[in-house]
Amino acid sequence: MEANTLSIRQVVPADAEAFRQLCIETFVDTYNIYNTPENMQLYIDTHYTPQRVLDEINSSTMQFYLAVAEDKLAGYVKMRTTENPPELAGKKHIEIERIYVLPGYKGLKIGKSLIAHAATVARGQQFEVLWLGVWEKNDHAIAFYTKQGFTVFGEHDFILGTDRQKDWLMKLELV
């Protein structure tokens, strides 16, 4: 893939079903080997229903951006505003709640492009900090985020199905 064949655009309601399938496929690819089939299905059934995906696309607190490579969906980033975490109280912050790239597109710097896009969007909206949670056992992702300038500043619990897992909170100062 040549660099000029990658574009990043905002998700619109007409993308809902294709986007939902992308969400499920990337989620399963990332976490299937670490979790039980029951917990994976419970998470999918809760977080990736057609109505929930459409509601989130239309939400004023969430922003989704698609990476399109060679006219195919290759990955996405989900950003959202939230009051949490308390460690960032007093700073205007936005979370990267999800960032995923399809297996066939990994290694092509699409994740790096999505992070850069998220940072540009956040700066444009006057946010001071871009932050995310990453599973403490996902060494590859932690190394990737560190390389992008993120630093660990806390932790929180993440529930996948019935399994309580620990996420490290990482932030990128934008100002």
- CATH number, residue 164: 3.40.630.30
What does pTM read for this prediction? 0.90
Q: What is the 3-class SS of 133-148, one letter each residue?
A: EEECCCHHHHHHHHHC
**Number of folded domains that form the chain:** 1
> Inter-axis angle of helices 50-58 and 16-31, to 10 degrees?
110
CA-to-CA distance for 56 and 13, rounded, in angstroms? 10
Domain interval for residue 148: 3-173
The pLDDT, as a whole number, for residue 4 is 57
Annotated active-site positions, please?
A: 145
The pLDDT, as a whole number, for residue 164 is 81
Residuewise pLDDT in 10s, the chain (175 residues): 444 589 999 999 999 999 999 999 999 998 888 889 999 999 999 999 999 999 999 999 999 999 999 899 999 999 999 888 989 999 999 999 999 999 999 999 999 999 999 999 999 999 999 999 998 888 989 999 999 999 999 998 877 777 787 899 999 999 8
Q: Tell which residue, 18, 152, 141, has the closest CA to residue 74.
A: 18
